Structure 1
Amino acid sequence: MLLFRPTRSDDIPFVMVTESDEENSRYVLQWTAERHEQATKEADTGHIVIETIGERKQIGYLIVAGLQNPHHSIELKRIAITEKGKGYGREALKLIKQWVFEHAGAHRLWLDVKEQNARARHLYESEGFIVEGVTRECLKNGDSFESLVVMSMLRPEYYRAERA
């Protein structure tokens, strides 16, 4: 259903619109176009556009960091999907797990998610991510603070789930 490809300079406007979408912007930290452009050039970062197979329609993007981490720990820094409720987020998550563990040689895939993002937390848990803890009130949002839930999956957990 989906394929990944590296983000190009001409994709940055799509990334910016996706990131600033009302549903996504509540849960995704906002970067400038320049910061996204910079990330596309960093060897330690994968900035990826998610497209549908066939029509090659852009439906989201993701960012992974730590590709050169000596501890083989890769962070799913961001995933943003434009069309909710179609299974694109789940499939993209499955594909990035496969790539991280089977091709990038990671031992650990981790992420943080805003505590109030129940939809994403449910997806991550249903895909085998384990809650490690909460980074309490670490993000300032207007006059209040938000907490992040840290979740991860280890290589043996990924392979056990794939065999089940």
Structure 2
Amino acid sequence: MDSEVLIQSRSIQFRKTILADLDYVIKAENDEQSRKFVAQWTREKHIEAIERRDQLHVVIEDLAGVKIGYMILAGLTNDNDCIELTRINISHKGQGYGKQAIRLIQKYVFHHLNAHRLWLDVKDFNDRAKHVYESNGFIAEGLLRECIKKNDTYESLIIMGILRDEFLKLTEG
């Protein structure tokens, strides 16, 4: 049984992740093209994210119901109205779904959740993702230097954010 659609555009939709989706989510996360950019979580950690009131774990689908990715938000109960896009992973790469998903989650966060700020972090070498975020109005706000240890090296993260007023100007103009 699928969960109900939260929001949709002309070509994609989001619905809450259910336990039956976790095989897809974990497979997408462990895909060779995703591994260097997306942390690998255990099934238990994904279940925690699905069940937590402060988080929203969604599956991204095309309008025919084909899974094309997933996304996780955190901070839904944040007193400062700041929501973090903790994770986005598109399994059908190179088809423009990432850009569409970012725009749709912005609409959901600012119009349905009434957030003031949406932010994320991205690995500094993930040029493709940085371009998608920038093209959707995110601004680089800072650098967390060598904050993630991966094997014997350290990776840096760029913090990016967009405010509700910036999003509204972007979509109205």
- Corresponding letter in the other structure for 2:35: S
**1 CA distance for matches of 2:73 and 2:65?**
21
In structure 2, the partner of 1:50 is: 60
Structure 1 counterpart of 2:56, one-letter code: G
Using the size of structure 1 for normalisation, the TM-score is 0.98
TM-aligned CA deviation for residue 38 of structure 1:
1.2
Deviations 1:54-107 (A, max 9, x none): x21001000000000000000000000011111111111111000000010100
1:121 and 2:113 equivalent?
Answer: no
CA distance in 2, matches of 1:9, 1:104: 24
Specify which of 16, 20, 27 is matched with residue 17 of structure 1.
27
Matches within 5 A, 1:17-96: 17-53=27-63, 55-96=64-105
Pairwise CA RMSD: 0.5
- Per-residue Cα deviation, 1:31-58 (whole angstroms, up to 9, x for no partner): 10110011100000000000110x2100
Runs of 5+ consecutive residues of structure 1 not aligned to the other structure = none
Query: How many residues were matched structurally?
Result: 163
Distance across 2 between alignment mates of 1:125 and 1:38 = 30
Does residue 130 in structure 1 map to residue 139 in structure 2? yes
Q: Percent identity?
A: 48
Give the equivalent residue in structure 2 for 1:152.
161
SS in 1 for 2:100: helix
Q: Provide the residue aligned with 2:107 in structure 1.
A: 98
Distance in 1 separating the partners of 2:123 and 2:115 = 24
Q: Distance in 1 between matches of 2:125 and 2:132?
A: 13
Which consecutive aligned stretches of 4+ in structure 1 deviate over 3 angstroms post-superposition?
none
